[in-house]
């Protein structure tokens, strides 16, 4: 065992700030993953996590004592020996012990893969961000990409939890100072102090400053390439004036992609009984609107909602959007009193919560539940 008699400077201020920023990004990204209307925040903190890790990779090759990868212990025999004697370690480590060495590398790899797969899901499923162009090609595989992202993210979180468990073992079992060293940068050990070169200090400053500014940039503007909405704002009045005029004169305008072809056929072939009202049209007008609805029905859309409505309906002939299995499942946790409130009044008043509904946009980020 090393004679613990003096304070040794081990972690630079840049490494410690990196840890703080990483904890913040991972925590917020994890928490916001369950809130659809916070998806842009989830993406922003996820992207920043990737930036932090990319800089950390470079830092690992910059000959920074205790932080460089060459100082890590990757020998499998050492790892086995450390884990089998974790409560009574044979050897102390100034920097990263074998378990921490493997955990750090695993977190870097899985963290970057989590961010990349998340960006892919953001593009294919939501039609947003740098991969929004893939929405038109791979939208049918959006669930596959989402599952891949979840698997990688869960693997990443497992390693994070294992790393936290290791730190707690060091604190309460080994009576070590891994936690306090991330505050003041020092450990009780007879070892060589960390001394950064001028170039390493410059890089460390750029690392921290860039990461913080990058996050602030993403949070301050949603119109940036990484978060930008790639979905088209549809002007239905220009696209099909008759559809716009006839349908919006009696109720809000429902985007055609929210029902499949067969549902529109049934509806348009029975306008004499249109949800209890007579909405009959001249035959020429009826056929014109019907053909437009059929050509823009769920089968022909790359919208997430269109695909999931199609999947949920299977062979059902539902003509009310609010009666589709997907709509019911999507809104099951919403207080029923909201639909009866003065600002919503009924379930079919979709634009009360989806502000761009009548322009064909149902992005999660645009969901705002009215409050009395």
Reported pTM: 0.86
CA distances 253 to 84, 236, 258, 355, Å, are 66, 9, 11, 12
- Fold category of 7-220 in CATH: Fumarate Reductase Cytochrome B subunit (1.20.950)
Comparing 151 with 93, the larger pLDDT belongs to: 151
Q: Domain locations in the chain? A: 7-220, 236-366
Checking if the pLDDT of 63 tops 80, the result is: yes
Comparing 215 with 2, the larger pLDDT belongs to: 215
Residues 160-203 have pLDDT tens digits of 999 999 999 999 998 889 999 999 999 998 899 999 999 999 99
How many Cβ atoms are within 10 Å of 193's Cβ, its own excluded? 12
Confidence (pLDDT) at 2: 44
| Residue 65, C-beta contacts closer than 8 angstroms, at least 6 positions apart | 71, 95, 192, 194, 195
Checking if the pLDDT of 124 tops 90, the result is: yes
Confidence (pLDDT) at 1: 41
């Amino acid at each position: 065992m090393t004679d613990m008699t003096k304070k040794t400077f081990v972690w630079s201020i840049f490494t410690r700030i990196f840890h703080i920023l990483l904890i913040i990004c991972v925590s917020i990204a994890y928490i916001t993953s369950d809130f659809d209307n916070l998806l842009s925040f989830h993406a922003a903190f996820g992207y920043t996590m990737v930036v932090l890790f990319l800089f950390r990779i470079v830092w690992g090759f910059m000959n920074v004592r205790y932080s460089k990868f060459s100082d890590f212990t990757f020998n499998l025999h050492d790892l086995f020996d450390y884990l089998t004697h974790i409560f009574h370690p044979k050897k102390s480590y100034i920097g990263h012990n074998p378990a921490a060495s493997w955990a750090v590398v695993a977190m870097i790899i899985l963290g970057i893969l989590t961010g990349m797969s998340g960006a892919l899901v953001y593009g294919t499923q939501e039609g947003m961000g740098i991969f929004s162009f893939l929405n038109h090609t791979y939208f049918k595989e959006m669930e596959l990409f989402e599952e891949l992202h979840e698997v990688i993210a869960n693997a990443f979180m497992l390693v994070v939890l294992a790393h936290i468990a290791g730190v707690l073992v060091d604190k309460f079992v080994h009576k070590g100072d891994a936690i306090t060293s991330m505050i003041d940068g020092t450990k009780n050990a007879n070892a060589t102090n960390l001394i950064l070169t001028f170039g390493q200090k410059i890089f460390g400053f750029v690392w921290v400053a860039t990461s913080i500014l990058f996050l602030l940039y993403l949070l301050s503007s949603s119109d940036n390439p990484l978060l930008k909405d790639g979905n088209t704002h549809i002007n239905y009045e220009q696209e099909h004036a008759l559809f716009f005029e006839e349908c919006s004169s009696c109720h809000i305008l429902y985007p055609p992609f929210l029902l499949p072809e067969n549902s529109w056929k049934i509806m348009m072939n029975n306008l004499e009984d249109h949800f209890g009202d007579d909405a009959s049209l001249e035959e020429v007008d009826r056929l014109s609107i019907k053909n437009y609805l059929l050509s823009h029905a769920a089968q022909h859309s790359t919208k997430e909602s269109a695909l999931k409505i199609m999947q949920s309906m299977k062979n059902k002939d539902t003509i009310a959007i609010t009666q589709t299995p997907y709509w019911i499942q999507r809104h099951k946790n919403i207080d029923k009193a909201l639909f009866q409130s003065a600002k919503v009044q009924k379930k079919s008043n979709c634009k009360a919560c989806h502000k761009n509904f009548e322009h064909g946009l149902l992005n999660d980020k645009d969901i705002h539940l009215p409050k009395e």
